[in-house]
């Protein structure tokens, strides 16, 4: 029986899916994936369909996680504005952590995936290299709410936490717009068409520029 059980929230996203595939191939750990949609994550990978926004649904579907030792939280709930993102994304993390607090006494580490928006990349230029000690930009930003929640919860617990803030990520995911690969895939053929249109019809003596 593996002595490490990895729980991945956001298992069908770019980060969650890649992490599960990597750990399944290289790590002797039990792996459990969480997502709202039902899915098959491969042999020996347990999946649970859980709506982290729904407290009652979490209580019902997060039972039996006593062996969880590591959590990677890569779930995200989009909203039309930055301000509207705060409440649901904080609630999802809270619902999951409260569930693990009741059922996972062996939890040792929590990893939270964020991004460069924590430094204000979505607002314009920011100081680089960015550091975790840099002043926070003008709110709202649900990253700050999540970090403050973990920092406030941890002192009375045995687990530690880490936050990763990559500038961008890319990979495979279905129905996920937060993926640089999609942007490159759309840009490449548009660039090719634009380049191919920049030629001269010598017979017509006409320059075509698209």
- Mean pLDDT to the nearest integer, 5-9: 96
Total number of residues shown for the chain? 210
Tally the domains of the chain: 2
79-108 average pLDDT score: 96
**Do 92 and 52 form a contact (C-beta atoms < 8 A)?**
yes
Same domain, 148 and 170: yes
**Radius of gyration, alpha carbons of the chain:** 21
- The closest of 75, 74, 64 to 100, measured between CA atoms, is 64
Q: pLDDT tens digits, residue range 48-77? A: 999 999 999 998 989 889 999 999 999 999
Question: Measured in whole angstroms, how far is the alpha carbon of residue 199 from the centre of its chain?
Answer: 44
Q: Does one domain contain both 111 and 191?
A: no
Residue 141: exposed, middle, or buried by beta-carbon count in 10 A (0-12, 13-18, 19+)? buried
- Do 157 and 189 lie in a common domain? no
Same domain, 159 and 197: no
* End-to-end CA, the chain: 62
Above pLDDT 70, what percent of the chain?
86
46 and 123 share a domain? yes
pLDDT value for 6: 96
The boundaries of the domain holding residue 61 are: 5-175
Claim to verify: residue 97 and residue 73 sit in the same structural domain? yes
Contact at 8 Å (CB) between 34 and 11?
yes
Task: Identify whether residues 27 and 127 lie together within a single domain.
Answer: yes
Residue with tokens 């230029």: 125
| Average pLDDT over every residue of 8-23 | 91
Same domain (yes/no): 111, 155: yes
Whether 168 and 202 share a structural domain:
no
Of 185 and 34, more confident: 34
């Amino acid at each position: 029986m593996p002595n490490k059980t990895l729980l991945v929230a956001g298992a069908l996203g770019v980060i969650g899916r890649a992490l599960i595939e990597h750990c399944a191939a290289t790590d002797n750990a039990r792996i459990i994936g969480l997502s709202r949609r039902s899915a098959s994550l491969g042999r020996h990978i347990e999946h649970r369909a859980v709506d982290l926004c729904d407290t009652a649904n979490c209580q019902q579907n997060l039972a039996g996680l006593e062996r969880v030792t590591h959590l990677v939280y890569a779930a995200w709930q989009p909203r039309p504005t930055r301000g509207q993102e705060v409440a649901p994304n904080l609630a999802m993390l809270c619902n999951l952590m409260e569930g693990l607090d009741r059922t996972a006494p062996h939890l040792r580490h929590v990893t939270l995936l964020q991004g460069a928006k924590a430094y204000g990349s979505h607002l314009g230029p920011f100081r680089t290299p960015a550091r975790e000690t840099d002043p926070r930009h003008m709110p709202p930003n649900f990253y700050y709410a999540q970090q403050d929640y973990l920092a406030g919860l941890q002192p009375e617990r045995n687990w530690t936490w880490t936050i990763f803030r990559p500038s961008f990520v890319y990979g495979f995911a279905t129905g996920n717009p937060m993926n640089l690969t999609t942007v490159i895939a759309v840009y490449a053929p548009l660039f090719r068409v634009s380049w191919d249109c920049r030629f001269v019809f010598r017979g017509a003596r006409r320059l075509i520029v698209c």
